[in-house]
Amino acid sequence: MVSTTLSTRVSSSSTSTTPAMEGEKKHPYPTTEVTSAPYNHLDENAVALEFASNPTHPITAADTTRVLRKIDLYLMPLMCLAVLLQFLDKTSLNYASLLGLKRTRICTGSNTCRIRGGKLRVWQQLYLILGGIALLFGFIVLAFMPDSPATIRYLTTRERQIVVHSIKSNKSGIHDKKFKKNQLIEAVKDFRLYLFFVAICAANIANGGVSNFGSEIISQFGYDSKTTSLLGMAPGAMEVVAVYFGAWLSHVTHTRVIPGVLMYILAIVGGVMMIAIPSTSSSGRYSGYVICFTYPVASPFIYSFLSSSVSGTTKRIVFNMVLQVGYSVGNLIGPQTYRVKDAPGYVPAKITLVVVFGVAAACLVGIGGVHARWNRRNGLGGWKDVVSAGEDGMEGEEEGKREVDDGEDLSDLTDKQRSKFRYPY
């Protein structure tokens, strides 16, 4: 942890020019004076501006790669565990049903509830273990997850400068703890907010159904409990393959929309197979069920859209909040599509799967279309330009043609307030 202490005072009446990075033009911006004060009590934007405007040495691509790899090694385990526990919370009902939840008959029209003595049942132990791990992990996140790139404790001052320069280049801004009403209003008026909500809600209607009732779906193909448990591993293998394929396709096409929509199309094919293939062909219907599990791979593309296309702290918080609401609503609706009267085939639920996959894919295309239109409006090229040249290459070319404004790139502005914000596809 770096013990450096700083305090900032930004002078708006005077400007100065400091040595710029190689390839950039020199330009004036507010000066930042450094004195002694507790580091963590600072305005993070001022700290970031100080780091960006006064690099101790020229920052190279190798420096950026090294620091980003260090950040990934620190943050990725925390983020992966958070996502894992979040999904386990929603899918634990599926495992609990195999461990005797249904036999306890806790879900009845009316009953008298009281605590009985004796040992905990296996499915009860499952919930206690998963809940305890999630609670403990929450404290770990509070202790170790950084709030802002300007205050990452495990980076040196030099490494924080590199991180801030990286943020400056993608124009996402630095975290600001002040609530801004204008950003809230802009978020509510942003049409993409509702596309994101519908996409995540639709995707998680499938998640709440397929994941929670996975054992029910497999068992109705004619398999016993033990075989059902073993066959439940194949969807996980399908997800692993789909993740690598989706990442490769995104790298090749320089888009998120194309691999995301493809995953939903494959899931639609799987859903249709479960509906159309006769019940006498258990292996064929099971294959359709496994293919359906390409759909979870599309969700990371939606979330990455949010992180890279929405700027402004308050606006980003609103978008994240709406996505979490959509995630929860979808997981609440999903199990309701599997009704007792539709057993054992659950055909209406499977039709619902096909529909929500189509809705999510349409929303993803809509988001990409909106971004293409806004980029053309800002003179930054359309969809075909990015797909043919690659986002990174075009961004580098554009950076070489314009003068970078540190004040704009590092300030807490929304994406619509930034004159040269490039929306991803």
245 with 226, same domain: the answer is: yes
Q: Which domain holds residue 342?
A: 179-425
Evaluate whether residue 213 is within a structural domain: yes
3-state helix, strand, coil in the chain (%, to 5): 70, 5, 30
67 with 211, same domain: the answer is: no
Are 362 and 268 a contacting pair, CB within 8 Å?
Answer: no
- Compare 361 and 337 and report the one with higher pLDDT: 361
Any idea what the Cα angle at residue 161 is, between residues 158 and 162, rounded to 5°? 95
267 with 162, same domain: the answer is: no
Evaluate whether residue 347 is within a structural domain: yes
Question: What's the token pair of residue 257?
Answer: 């929309």
- Compare 425 and 198 and report the one with higher pLDDT: 198
DSSP 74-135: HHHHHHHHHHHHHHHHHHHHHHHHHTTTGGGT---SS-------SPPPHHHHHHHHHHHHHH
- Residue 40: predicted pLDDT: 43
- Residue 217: predicted pLDDT: 77
The pLDDT of residue 164 is above 80: no
Evaluate whether residue 113 is within a structural domain: no
57 with 131, same domain: the answer is: yes
As a whole number of angstroms, the distance between CA 259 and CA 220 comes to 31
For 7, phi and psi rounded to 5 degrees? -145, 145
- Compare 159 and 20 and report the one with higher pLDDT: 159
For the ranges 4-8, 181-185, 300-304, which has the lowest average pLDDT?
A: 4-8
Mean pLDDT value across the chain: 74
- Compare 102 and 2 and report the one with higher pLDDT: 102
224 with 140, same domain: the answer is: no
- Residue 158: predicted pLDDT: 77
- Compare 36 and 383 and report the one with higher pLDDT: 383
**Side chain identity at residue 147, one-letter code:** D
Mean pLDDT, range 223-244, rounded to an integer: 84
pLDDT digits over 129-146, tens only?
888 898 999 898 888 887
Are 174 and 302 a contacting pair, CB within 8 Å?
Answer: no
Evaluate whether residue 383 is within a structural domain: yes
pLDDT digits over 52-90, tens only?
555 556 777 788 888 888 888 888 888 888 888 877 776
152 with 283, same domain: the answer is: no
Evaluate whether residue 128 is within a structural domain: yes
The pLDDT of residue 300 is above 50: yes
Evaluate whether residue 112 is within a structural domain: no
| Percent of the chain clearing pLDDT 90 (strictly above) | 17
- Compare 233 and 389 and report the one with higher pLDDT: 233
- Residue 26: predicted pLDDT: 44
- Residue 74: predicted pLDDT: 85
Check which CATH number belongs to the domain holding 417 and give it: 1.20.1250.20
80 with 186, same domain: the answer is: no
- Residue 47: predicted pLDDT: 52
93 with 145, same domain: the answer is: yes
pLDDT digits over 274-299, tens only?
889 887 888 888 888 899 999 989 98
- Residue 414: predicted pLDDT: 77
Evaluate whether residue 114 is within a structural domain: no
186 with 166, same domain: the answer is: no
The pLDDT of residue 25 is above 70: no
Instruction: List alpha helices for 175-233, DSSP H.
Output: 181-189, 191-206, 214-219, 225-231
191 with 280, same domain: the answer is: yes
207 with 340, same domain: the answer is: yes
Are 273 and 288 a contacting pair, CB within 8 Å?
Answer: yes
Are 294 and 282 a contacting pair, CB within 8 Å?
Answer: no
Highest mean pLDDT among 178-192, 239-253, 329-343, 375-389: 239-253
- Residue 52: predicted pLDDT: 52
Evaluate whether residue 239 is within a structural domain: yes
Which of 153, 170, 187 terminates a domain? The answer is 170
Q: How confident is the model at residue 196 (pLDDT cuts 50, 70, 90)?
A: very high
Count: domains in the chain: 2
As a whole number of angstroms, the distance between CA 394 and CA 255 comes to 13
- Residue 180: predicted pLDDT: 81
Mean pLDDT, range 22-35, rounded to an integer: 39
Q: How far is CA 60 from the centre of its chain?
A: 29
80 with 215, same domain: the answer is: no
Q: How confident is the model at residue 382 (pLDDT cuts 50, 70, 90)?
A: low
Mean pLDDT, range 40-46, rounded to an integer: 47
Three-state DSSP class for 365? helix
| Percent of the chain clearing pLDDT 70 (strictly above) | 68
Q: In 10 A of CB 78, how many CB atoms?
A: 15
